[in-house]
Structure 1
Amino acid sequence: MSDLPPLRDVISRHGLNASKALGQNFLFDEQLLDRIARIPGDLEGESVYEVGPGPGGLTRALLRAGANVVAVERDHRCIPALAELSAWKPGKLRVIEDDALKIDEAHEAGHAHIVANLPYNVGTALLVRWLASESWAPWWKSLTLMFQKEVAERIVARPDSSAYGRLAVLAQWRSTAKLAMNVHRSAFTPPPKVMSAIVHIEPAEAPEGATIGTIERLTAGAFGQRRKMLRQSLKSVPGALEALEMLCIDATRRAETLTVEDFVSIARAIDTKA
């Protein structure tokens, strides 16, 4: 695949045992990693933002694909291994040693594709942050992200399913989200207890008249008490019950029966009245 030493050798040489505290699980299969790097499309000359590269398995694949990579890694043990990749592809990789939850990503990466095998312990928080941008279109071009399969299914879920909830609405109201690939737990070292999957998300047109703040309040209320009827779960959201009545949405329904378009319509009605 390349003139680099095998990733297992790099990990052994640098003593990089996966950290459970950092949610690390390493992928060694270069063919699999190259398949992941192809999901966003042709990356030749494209900017890519990677979170949690660890020893650099996916980073290698992104560099092989011709991308210019900005990688954020908080585990200082991995920095020497990533420095070897910087030397392998001069000028193509910039490594930032920091916490991905704390940096100004748009400033650091510009208009970039985000491609990452996200650490399990921060994956959902980062996704919500990327989806909940006030301004739209967002700074990112696309998201290609690995999650626990259960989380991935929640992102792409449809109404009237147990997986459908706040995450699905946030991902789908102004984006398109699809399940791009399943990844068996045996592909990782150490193998996690659960299966994984890769979700690909592309920004779409934002519906007019609805704001992210209202969408977040609606979904937090509706799905925070998902067993209750809307007349109960949305009671604390100002203007929500009036919006249901105006839109002729039955207040005895439950949150999982509403489509993404329903939530957008309710948010639009609330924002128009505000």
Structure 2
Amino acid sequence: MSIDNLPPLKQVIDTHGLAAKKSLGQNFLLDLNLTAKIARLSGRNEDHDVLEIGPGPGGLTRGLLSEGARKVLAIEKDERCLPALAEISDAYPDRLKVMSGDALDINPLDHLTSPIRIAANLPYNIGTELLVRWLTPPDWPPFWDSLTLMFQREVAQRITAEPGSKAYGRLAILSQWRTDAKIVMNLPPEAFSPPPKVSSAVVHLAALPEPRFAADAAMLQHVTATAFNQRRKMLRSSLKSLSSDIEDHLIAADIKPTDRAEQIDVERFCALARSLKAA
């Protein structure tokens, strides 16, 4: 259970009184062998800076550093965790920078040097929002080479879902438009403290040099959010708020107006976004 000379995570949590807070979406992964494995799944990081969101008591942080990451920037909202993270910083001089604050409000690029990867056991309450932000910058390629992220398994399945499945939706389209996305690890509830009610999974998303198909990121996000907000309706109905000529745009994108959102692949959603943007 040890990957360095620091205490086991359970001891760290007990010493610093770090009972997980549901309000912060916290579930701590205590097995340091698992955190080291997740770090390895993110890639060889000797020549990369790594951004970590929500390190908590520092299990994945220690995994990343012990596996050789050039530098880790850890952003933590829970100030109770800062003393534990400071102990890790002391053990890995000049390789860990800890920032206190909300990851949604902090620009990490002021503190990182390219090339950059992101690896995190994301807090459940902001995980999806962060992922969408990372996938939809106005310019591509993004500042990161890859994302290695832990989610509830249901969310991981939504990221990697194929058209026609119940899990297929906006997250699948945004992820598969610009990245190669795959589930690389599954974790049961009992791996965490406290155990969540659902299983978890690690998803690895490797940024493509260019999106698979041309489209405006903001328009694609708007189209898919609108389409899947009423996924049981025909697209000519669910998307009518986007254009008075929505049927013409659907036909131009090789989509039947009577199709439903879950039937449409990434290529045709991008074609629809281009048509609407041009208009």
Calculate the TM-score normalised by the size of structure 2: 0.94
The alpha-carbon deviation at position 66 of structure 1 amounts to: 1.1
Residues 46-105 of structure 1, C-alpha deviations (whole Å, 9 max, x = no match):
200000000101100000011110000011111010000110010000000010010112
Q: Find the counterpart in structure 1 of residue 48 from structure 2.
A: 46
Q: Find the counterpart in structure 2 of residue 165 from structure 1.
A: 169
Q: The residue matched to 2:24 in structure 1 has which SS?
A: coil
Distance in 2, Cα, partners of 1:157 & 1:254:
16
Please give the residue correspondences for 1:177-196 in structure 2 after superposition, counting only pairs within 5 Å: 177-196=181-200
Distance in 2, Cα, partners of 1:15 & 1:119:
19
1:259 aligns with 2:265: yes
Distance in 2, Cα, partners of 1:241 & 1:134:
28
Q: Quick check: 1:40–1:144 contact (8 Å CA) kept in 2?
A: yes
Q: The residue matched to 1:106 in structure 2 has which SS?
A: helix
- Cα 1:232/1:157, change in 2 over 3 Å: same
- Cα 1:187/1:248, change in 2 over 3 Å: closer
Q: Quick check: 1:27–1:188 contact (8 Å CA) kept in 2?
A: yes
Q: The residue matched to 1:21 in structure 2 has which SS?
A: helix
Distance in 1, Cα, partners of 2:255 & 2:4:
58
Distance in 2, Cα, partners of 1:164 & 1:158:
6
Q: Quick check: 1:46–1:66 contact (8 Å CA) kept in 2?
A: no
Distance in 2, Cα, partners of 1:154 & 1:174:
15
What is the root-mean-square deviation in Å for CA atoms of aligned residues?
Answer: 1.3
Give 1:232's match in structure 2, choosing from 221, 230, 237.
237
Number of equivalent positions:
273
- Cα 1:91/1:182, change in 2 over 3 Å: same
Task: Give unmatched runs, 5+ long, in structure 2.
Answer: none
Q: Find the counterpart in structure 2 of residue 247 from structure 1.
A: 253
Distance in 2, Cα, partners of 1:83 & 1:166:
38
Q: Find the counterpart in structure 2 of residue 56 from structure 1.
A: 58
Please give the residue correspondences for 1:1-274 in structure 2 after superposition, counting only pairs within 5 Å: 1-67=3-69, 68-111=71-114, 112-204=116-208, 205-207=210-212, 209-238=214-243, 240-271=246-277, 273-274=278-279
Q: Which runs of 4+ in 1 moved over 4 A?
A: none
Distance in 2, Cα, partners of 1:165 & 1:249:
16
Task: Give unmatched runs, 5+ long, in structure 1.
Answer: none
The alpha-carbon deviation at position 269 of structure 1 amounts to: 2.5
Q: Quick check: 2:170–2:224 contact (8 Å CA) kept in 1?
A: yes
The alpha-carbon deviation at position 41 of structure 1 amounts to: 1.4
The alpha-carbon deviation at position 246 of structure 1 amounts to: 2.0
- Cα 1:29/1:90, change in 2 over 3 Å: same
Residues 179-232 of structure 1, C-alpha deviations (whole Å, 9 max, x = no match):
111011110011011100011111111246410111012101211111100110
User: Percent of pairs identical after alignment?
Assistant: 53
Paired amino acid for 2:23? A
Q: Quick check: 1:207–1:264 contact (8 Å CA) kept in 2?
A: no
Distance in 1, Cα, partners of 2:161 & 2:143:
25
- Cα 1:247/1:101, change in 2 over 3 Å: closer
Q: Quick check: 2:188–2:200 contact (8 Å CA) kept in 1?
A: yes
Q: Tell which deviates more after alignment, 250-259 or 38-47.
A: 38-47
Residues 141-185 of structure 1, C-alpha deviations (whole Å, 9 max, x = no match):
110000000111001111000000111111111111111110111
- Cα 1:85/1:248, change in 2 over 3 Å: closer
Q: The residue matched to 1:77 in structure 2 has which SS?
A: helix
